Amino acid sequence: MAGSSPHTDDAATGGLRALLTLAAPVVASRLGIMAMGLVDTIVVGQHSAAELGYHALAWAVTGVVLTTALGLLSGVQVMTSQAIGEGRAADTGAILRRGLAYAAWIALASTLFLAVTGKPMLIAFELAPGLAEGAAPVLLVQAISLIPIIIADAGLFWLEAHGRAIPGMIAMWTANIVNLVFNLWLVPGGNILGVSGAVASGWATFSSRLFLMLVLAIIILRWRRARELGVLAPAPRDPEAARQMRRVGYGAAASYFIESLAFSAMAVFAGWISATAVAVWAVVINVAALVFMVPLGLAVATSVLVGRAYGARDRAAMLGAAGQGFGVTTVVLLLVSLGVWLFPDAIASAYSREAAVLAGIASAMVLSSLFFAADGLQVVAAQSLRARSDITAPAMIHVISYVVVMMPLAWWLGVRSGGGVDGLIWAIVIASTLSALLLWGRFFWLGRRPLTQVEVPAAVPAASGPA
């Protein structure tokens, strides 16, 4: 309700404890998202190295669309956090309902786009013989599975902004059990559906994502505060509130699109090198994405606290939340990097049985440990900037780092100079370090200035009618 405490009954009021309390289940939830991909990759990789390549190439295209779509929805989380900070918790139900409607349109458009353009895009990449044809049907199934996950994540973002990350975490890991069971059943073939390999894994992922969407809907509708927050009432027409939510999403989507496109280009570059390089890169990006879920969860928790402090016009709390996010992310990722650097062979053996692929993975893992911390720190900084309504700068910095610097550098080091997958990884190390330095520099530079009326977003009028 307007005038209520800026914090929900589910979250602490601030400080390191608040960050860790929220971050732990959010990180676990993000790891759950990645665990689905990890299971898909391991089960398919153990089934066939060729099928693993199809899976990786299809995901290289689908992943760009998914991450861009989720960026469009980031306004749900930012606007909810800021509304809570401003004492307008009663308006957040309307934010959710607008966000779910927006998510449905985005999901349908994303699936249709990939269904029409997916195969032509793969063919246009001029990959090694047979790769495009093998990846095309996998891409189509992955495109269909975007519908439930995009809608589900709108609800997940809203729950996390309210500090209710634990129910979302439980739903995510339960969905992982569904995904594992279906993968083990379908991927080897011989099932009643007549599918196997990467296509079968795609249908397993669809089933688990549909399950997740339904469970999250039940969690939200059964929350005791759902009626109080306006979840059960139609959202009043408010074009300005909808515009603000979309505006935040446009900036985040631009950043996500740029970064995911650049990383997906690495898969194409690997395809120009060799089929073995594609398989090695599939493992590198899978492990990197798994590690990335940790700072992504920390970024969500940090941005929720930064957004609440920004909504409450508390500059000290805003800087404190960001600083704590920086410190925790740095420590955690240095420890993770050390673990990857020490045990590359163990990681490689989990993904493949082929000698050439195993050797390539182990070498790439050692080098990959160099960019985990920088990549994680840049996402925490970008999320923190968006939480304080700085929308354009993160996207511009990502263009500079990942398009202007990383993509041509990766082509030169990996393809042109013959550096292979190691050359691709060196380009990521350089670009991620640059991005982290620029983004954190901007955040702390802005933090030195007082929050003036020009910076503070105009308060959204209290919703008329039931909300």
Alpha-carbon span 154 to 68, nearest angstrom: 13
What is the pLDDT, as a whole number, of residue 4? 39
Q: Are 61 and 122 in contact (CB under 8 A)?
A: yes
What is the pLDDT, as a whole number, of residue 3? 37
Q: In the block, which residue shows the tokens 């000698």?
A: 355
Residue 13 CB-half CA count within 13 A: 4
Q: Are 175 and 209 in contact (CB under 8 A)?
A: yes
Q: Are 148 and 100 in contact (CB under 8 A)?
A: no
What is the pLDDT, as a whole number, of residue 181? 94
Helix (H, G, I), strand (E, B) or coil at 71: helix
Q: Among candidates 46, 318, 365, which has minimal Cα distance to 187?
A: 46
Non-local CB neighbours of 143 within 8 Å, separated by 6+ positions? 62, 65, 110, 111, 114, 115, 118
Q: Among candidates 74, 80, 75, 73, which has minimal Cα distance to 7?
A: 80
Residue 174: exposure state from Cβ atoms within 10 A (0-12, 13-18, ≥19): middle
Which of 2-6, 111-115, 447-451 reaches the highest mean pLDDT? 111-115
Residue 310: exposure state from Cβ atoms within 10 A (0-12, 13-18, ≥19): buried
Q: In the block, which residue shows the tokens 């990939």?
A: 114
Q: Taking the domains of the chain in order of start, what are their residue ranges? A: 15-447
Alpha-carbon span 435 to 179, nearest angstrom: 34
Give percent of the chain above pLDDT 70: 92
Alpha-carbon span 81 to 88, nearest angstrom: 10
pLDDT reading at 332 higher than 70: yes
Amino acid at position 120, single letter: P
Q: In the block, which residue shows the tokens 């603000």?
A: 244
The per-residue pLDDT of the chain, averaged, comes to 84
Mean pLDDT of 256-284: 80
This prediction's pTM: 0.75
Q: Which residues pair with 2 in a beta bridge?
A: 88
pLDDT band of 113, cuts 50, 70, 90: very high
pLDDT reading at 2 higher than 60: no
Q: Are 57 and 131 in contact (CB under 8 A)?
A: yes
Q: What is the tens place of the pLDDT at every residue in 136-172?
A: 889 999 999 999 999 999 999 999 989 898 999 999 9
pLDDT reading at 47 higher than 60: yes
What is the pLDDT, as a whole number, of residue 356? 65
Q: What is the tens place of the pLDDT at every residue in 286-318?
A: 788 778 888 988 998 898 889 888 888 888 888
